[in-house]
Chains A and B, each alone.
Chain A
Amino acid sequence: MKRFIRSLYTIVLAGVVPLVMWRCEMAGSADVGPGATGVGGSMARFAITDNTLYIVTHNSLDVYDISSPSAPTRKGKAELGMGIETIFPYQKNLFVGANDGMYIFDSRQPQSPVLLSKYRHVMSCDPVVVQGSFAYVTLRGGAACRQWNNMSSLDVVDVSNPANPQLLNTQPLETPYGLGVDGNKLFVCEGEKGLKVFDITNPAVPTQTQFLTNVPSYDVIPNKNTLIVTGKNGLYQYRYDSQTTGTSLELLSKIPVE
């Protein structure tokens, strides 16, 4: 009996100690300070930079001041066309994906974003990610408005002058959803078809290096050489190397769906 109690005690302690440590970690860890903001995937309609929360509804960009985090106050609203889908903040700009194009805002005054340009493309759905002066946009065809053009594509757009974006390259895709970029790697979710990895050593010309057809994918976050992928089979995490070319992904873990 004594032994039983002792082992029970050990089990409880083993359970509680990591929990306590983890709570401390949450409060004190360097990368999760009280005001730290995180990173979303490319499909996001919500984005936070410092004291500003951006929400894209299907027809507007709404700006909230969250300097008092538990009391968001609406600071502004930019009415946009219909079919707004995603927002991606990058440095001093906001990139908003819509059914008929990509809006680029100047966000140097975070709570009064200024529309700089709209890069128009054929009707589709188009999350966007940005690295350096290159924006990567996936266009998913097959929407009702595109019966004459069922093509999906990956477009590379030069945004070095955000007021005048220029198409650099386009290549066909199958059924793209979210995408993510880090260093030399570009990851593209192809829905039920799988997950594609592109080498972007030449940032203007993505070259496909890997196609995981057994990983249905909807959205990705590449972060510090760990790739987080969600899809209908669950959540997958991979190790990658953002600096080298052509190396393959190494599976770290999977949380399957029930």
Chain B
Amino acid sequence: MKIPFYSLLLVLGLAACNTAMDEAPPGPQFDGMAYRPIYATAQEQKDIKSLPARPLRNPGKIYLLGSFLFINEMGSGVHIINNSDPSHPENLAFVSIPGNYDIAVKGQWLYADNGTDLVVFDISDPTKVQIAKRVEKAIPLSKYPPFQNTYFECVDDTKGVVVGWEKVAMSVRPNCYR
């Protein structure tokens, strides 16, 4: 009966870890602010618009092609900038794309994530961007916000597709963190 003794120790050890996880999570300190998923219906997710230039609010990733600079607006689209003179960048247009965080460009074609879909845009006229192709369900649903060391409301798949995250005050610490 030597083996069960060590097994018991192992089980106890694991149980201790679990308890520690439940009661005092090794996550960050909770300061009353946490991220909440923004859900969209399939219809809302596909609501893409070619719009006039708008100011930056939450700039994310960037992509450079020749004199054009593309700035992701976290969770909501892409700013197109004429950067032929880096001393005087000119904000040309905005493409509103729900759930967008990533971009890449080849020639006149912009590739962007739109929630769980991959969408190809013809940007030969940045002020009148056209959808050329949609690849549905190309990108698995993101279960967490693009930030570390933070609490967030766990994603509930039944509520729709997560197209963004908003930082809000919460009276109770949510169960998810990263």
Contact = CB atoms under 8 A, between A and B. Distances in A.
B142 A58 contact: yes
A230 B120 CA distance: 24
Contact of A231 (B59, B68, B101, B124): B59
A245 B101 CA distance: 35
B66 to A, nearest CB: 3
B25 interface: yes
Interface stretch (A39-47, A103-111, A198-206): A39-47
A48 B105 contact: yes
Contact of B57 (A27, A71, A257): A257
A40 B62 contact: yes
Nearest to A47: B104
B60 A230 contact: yes
B2 interface: no
Interface stretch (A6-14, A62-70, A154-162): A62-70
A38 B56 contact: no
B62 A257 contact: no
A29 B56 contact: no
B12 interface: no
Contacts of B177: 144
Given A47-B104, A48-B106, A53 B111 contact: yes
Interface string B57-92: 111111111111101000000000111101111010
B4 interface: no
Contacts of B111: 46, 48, 53, 66, 72
Interface in B108-158: 108-109, 111, 113, 118, 120, 122, 124-125, 132-133, 135, 138-140, 142-143, 148-149
A41 to B, nearest CB: 5
Interface residues of A, number: 62
Interface size bracket, B side: 35 or more
B104 A40 contact: yes
B64 A38 contact: yes
Contacts of A41: 61-63
Interface in A158-214: none
A144 B62 contact: no
A27 B126 CA distance: 12
B135 A72 contact: yes
B82 A22 contact: yes
A69 B124 contact: no
Given A219-B61, A228-B64, A230-B71, A38 B138 contact: no
B86 to A, nearest CB: 5
Contacts of B25: 144
B27 interface: yes
23 contacts: A29-B66, A32-B67, A33-B107, A34-B108, A36-B107, A38-B63, A38-B65, A38-B104, A48-B105, A55-B102, A66-B111, A70-B122, A70-B132, A72-B135, A125-B148, A142-B28, A144-B25, A144-B178, A221-B64, A230-B71, A257-B55, A257-B56, A258-B57
Interface of A: 22-23, 25-27, 29, 31-41, 43-48, 53, 55, 57-59, 62, 64, 66, 69-72, 74, 125, 140, 142-145, 147, 218-219, 221, 223, 226, 228, 230-232, 234-235, 237, 239, 252-253, 255-258
